[in-house]
Amino acid sequence: MRLACVQLGVEGGAVAKNVAAALDAVRDAAAAGADLVVLPELFDVGYFAFDAYQRAAESLAGDRLGRFAAVAAEAGVNVLAGTVVEDLAASAADGIAVPADDGLANTAVLFDRDGERRLVYRKRHLFGYGSEETDRMVPGDRVPVTEIEGVCVGVTTCYDLRFPEQFRQMVDAGVECVLVPSAWPYPRVEHWRTLGRARAIENLSYVAAVNGSGAFDGDALCGRTTVYDPWGTTMASAGEAPATVTAEVDPAEVATVREEFPALRDRR
């Protein structure tokens, strides 16, 4: 599976502009041969644009995500639109299962080549250190996985990288590649590099840590989108500027590594 990780330049609060840029990036990646395109955390509104969350929120069945479902079908590519601000009450009204009757969620949606919704992941670990996310968002309650292009994939989001038990849940469910849309800021660059690699090493799985690029009111994202193989080796990476990072994900490689180095079987 050819993976394209879009390190999008995100402008705080500029939802229409950000969405248009993301749609163009999906089309470009599909034209270049991608099987799965992954977008960063809150690419629609910008992570640090806290006051814009409420006005940007929509149902998962709303027009904005409908445009990503449409471009997935038109371009014949799988797309992780992820994440966006979800209005939980609006989603519930549209018949979508939600963790709470009201509030907002930081939600990733995976669409397949037909534009069908295949996975919904709502960020479980909300960030409160110098952030308003914990005050404005409702945490998710599920860690789903699904098969795309013959690869079992799961999704976590940004701060989730610090909680290895969540990755173990996905491994137990068969995950081979974990997608991590993020809005990871300076100055914690070494944390970003270390945690993504560690999750790949300890779970013997691919990890695609997909960050955004840009600044908002003094906070700047560090970029450095990186794909790690099941040994924790960097396959492809970016600097801090907008870029698209590509890598080949092979489930046979996961099986080979786990057979050769059976650490997962030695858990107690």
pLDDT confidence band for 71 (50 / 70 / 90): very high
Q: Report d(CA 228, CA 16) in Å as an integer.
A: 32
Reply yes or no on whether 123 is catalytic: yes
Tokens coding 252: 């046979």
Q: Mean pLDDT across the stretch 5-33? A: 97
Phi, psi torsion values for 183, nearest 5 degrees: -135, 65
Nearest to 175 by CA among 200, 151, 199, 142: 151
Tell me which of 41, 58, 133, 176 is the catalytic residue: 41
Q: Where are the beta strands (DSSP E) in 99-150?
A: 104-111, 117-122, 145-148
Tokens coding 237: 């990476």
Tell me which of 5, 133, 152, 158 is the catalytic residue: 158
pLDDT confidence band for 217 (50 / 70 / 90): confident
Tell me which of 5, 58, 86, 123 is the catalytic residue: 123
Q: Report d(CA 249, CA 207) in Å as an integer.
A: 10
pLDDT the model gives residue 62: 96
pLDDT the model gives residue 131: 87
- pTM beyond 0.95: yes
In this predicted model, what pLDDT tens digit does every residue of 114-136 receive, in sequence order?
999 999 999 999 998 878 999 99
Q: Report d(CA 237, CA 235) in Å as an integer.
A: 7
In this predicted model, what pLDDT tens digit does every residue of 238-261 receive, in sequence order?
999 999 999 999 999 999 999 999
Q: Report d(CA 154, CA 4) in Å as an integer.
A: 16
> What structural domains and CATH numbers belong to the chain?
2-266 (3.60.110.10)
